[in-house]
Amino acid sequence: MKSWEELNQRRDEERSKISLRRSEAAVKIIVGGGTRGIAAGARAITSTTLDEILRHHLEGKAVVQLAAVEQEGCEPLVRIEQPGKEPVVYQNVTPERMQRIFQQHVLNGEVVKEWVMAS
């Protein structure tokens, strides 16, 4: 490395890899785990989410977390938290649905109303 710019670039790259340790993420995607969530396919949702993050280069900006929140008949659950906004919970998420939620909600800020869990 021979310049400050290079160093800054390196810092930003590296920071994105460890941002989840620093609670710096702009969006938190919480996948409902627990025994029921896993049985309903929460792991596939997690993988899809991770793929989406990678595809859209959001490493460092988005965090995926598993949580033991359960609601009978609604699994898998996905909760999206963004600072300054009300959290949104989606129910019966499939990998395909997750892709759309990602595209529409996470990237464009538009809630996918039809899948939002009734409260």
Which residues bind to another protein, rule: CB under 8 A?
1-4, 7, 10-11, 13-15, 17-18, 20-21, 23, 25, 28, 31-35, 37-38, 43, 46-47, 49-50, 53-54, 59, 63-69
Least Cα distance to 67 among 95, 100, 86, 89 occurs for 89
What is the bridge-based pairing of β-strands 27-32 and 78-81?
A: antiparallel
* In the complex, minimum distance from the CB of residue 35 to another protein, in angstroms, rounded to a whole number: 6
The span from the CA of 18 to the CA of 118, in Å, is: 35
* In the complex, minimum distance from the CB of residue 113 to another protein, in angstroms, rounded to a whole number: 26
State the burial class of residue 111 (Cβ atoms within 10 Å of its Cβ: 0-12, 13-18, 19+). middle
Residue with Cβ nearer another protein (23 or 113): 23
Residue with Cβ nearer another protein (65 or 104): 65
* In the complex, minimum distance from the CB of residue 12 to another protein, in angstroms, rounded to a whole number: 9
* In the complex, minimum distance from the CB of residue 88 to another protein, in angstroms, rounded to a whole number: 18
Residue 65: helix, strand or coil by DSSP? Answer: strand
